[in-house]
Amino acid sequence: MTVITTIEDLRVLAEKRVPRMFYDYADSGSWTESTYKANESDFQKIKLRQRVAVNMENRTTATKMVGQDAKMPVSIAPVGLCGMQSADGEIKAAKAAEKFGIPFTLSTMSICSIEDIAQNTSAPFWFQLYMMRDRDAMKKMIERARAARCSALVLTLDLQVIGQRHKDLKNGLTAPPKPTIANIINLMMKPRWCLGMAGTRRHTFGNLVGHVKAVTNMNSLASWTNEQFDPTLSWADVQWVKEQWGGKLILKGIQDLEDAHLAVASGADAIVVSNHGGRQLDGAPSSISALPEIAQAVGDKIEVWMDGGIRSGQDVLKAWALGARGTMIGRAFVYGLGAMGEAGVTKALQIIHKELDITMAFCGHTNIQTVGTNILLPGTYDFKP
């Protein structure tokens, strides 16, 4: 096997090892995928200022995210169906994050349940919640997160309806995959994946089956979300969630300055500048281009983070320089998970941390807390509408 040195190496390996519908689920966007692609390409437009003859010893990338220690300003984003990238995938990712020293976020639409993560890790983790029509189910989920010692709740605001994801529709995405001829042929080519799945009982949505009324068949992600996700979501509902939870609240999916001000007014502890990885509104701006205006306007009132397009430690450093006091990585860790399980997630984190650390040094800094826009080349990061 080729020596793995980049997140791209992990992506290539994951594509070989993960069944097509689940690989495509992670590695795709909505409609034309223009926003999905811009999330990555806009990072490349930002250029760094190299400095020389500065002391590069004793470097640190350590920080805190909503009061929780982090080895670097990176957390694992909530990604659905991780248990279909690799058997018991969410448990593997949570263990890797805990050992590395960064926060892990479990998705509502995970294969492993909240209780599975609590039983297999010792560090506090975060739980991501969608606004559902069934408020009783939401209350119970919040109580389960509290019982599992989750230290923060991540409320996703940009998925009241599902964006049209062409690859998911064409692949007939289900969990577990339906035994169609096409799927059987594809699975025959993924023996490592099949062997792993044969060794676990976790094959469908562990947070929902058996916990939500009248839900007995969760095979179709799209049909259940279309039925249950609440399109009437309002800021009053955000306040309701805050009251039910009572702990640290992170609002994910902010792209607009007006919404950022409303998020501050809601009393949330942090916001994530995010377009859902380009999987919702195609044609929306990239996350990194939306970040500076929001960070400048509300960064002194609330923790501002971002996700979308991060494929390297350099991307993390650029986001920090533009005002993000934390980042979330989704595809970067999912590629590692699909490629090599827990070891692959660890490898992804090691790659990002090393790139972050070395790039920071080349830019003349030994502590990430001192990094600002002075490490960026003027004219390369002034994103205009």
* Active-site residue list: 276
Does 308 count as an annotated binding residue? yes
Is 73 annotated for ligand binding?
Answer: no
Asked if residue 17 belongs to a known ligand binding site, the reply is: no
Does 279 belong to an annotated binding site?
yes
Q: Is 122 annotated as a binding residue?
A: no
Q: Strand (E) positions, the chain?
A: 63-65, 68-70, 74-76, 105-106, 126-130, 152-156, 248-254, 270-273, 303-307, 327-329
Is 237 annotated to bind a ligand? Reply is no
165 is known to lie in a ligand binding site: yes
What is d(CA 71, CA 68) in angstroms, rounded to the nearest whole number?
10
Write phi, then psi, for 234 (nearest 5 degrees). -135, 175
């023996």: which residue's tokens?
191
Measured CA to CA, the distance from residue 114 to residue 145 in angstroms comes to 7
Backbone angles phi, psi at 118, to 5 degrees: -60, -35
Q: Is 309 annotated as a binding residue?
A: yes
> φ and ψ at 254, to 5 degrees?
-80, 130
Would you say 302 and 271 are in contact if contact means Cβ atoms under 8 Å apart?
yes
133 is in an annotated binding site: no
* Residue 252 counted as an annotated binding residue: yes
107 is in an annotated binding site: yes
Residue 247 annotated as part of some ligand binding site: no
Determine if residue 4 is labeled as part of a ligand binding site: no
- Residue 47 annotated as lining a ligand binding site: no
Query: Does residue 134 contact residue 108 with C-beta atoms inside 8 Å?
Result: no
> Chain centroid to CA 318: how far?
18
Cα–Cα nearest to 318, from 273, 360, 351: 360
Indicate the Cα dihedral angle 237, 241, 242, 248, nearest 10°. -130
Task: Tell me how far apart the alpha carbons of residues 246 and 144 are, in angstroms, rounded to a whole number.
Answer: 14
Amino acid identity of residue 125, one-letter, is F
- Cα dist. 172→21, 109, 126, 190 in Å? 8, 17, 30, 18
78 labelled ligand-binding: yes
Provide the CA 279 distance to its chain's centre, in angstroms: 12
Handedness of CA 77, 83, 85, 90 (dihedral sign): positive
149 is in an annotated binding site: no
Annotated binding site for glyoxylate: which residue ranges?
Answer: 25, 165, 276, 279
Annotated binding site for FMN: which residue ranges?
Answer: 78-80, 107, 128, 130, 156, 252, 274, 307-311, 330-331
Annotated binding site: which residue ranges?
Answer: 25, 78-80, 107, 128, 130, 156, 165, 252, 274, 276, 279, 307-311, 330-331
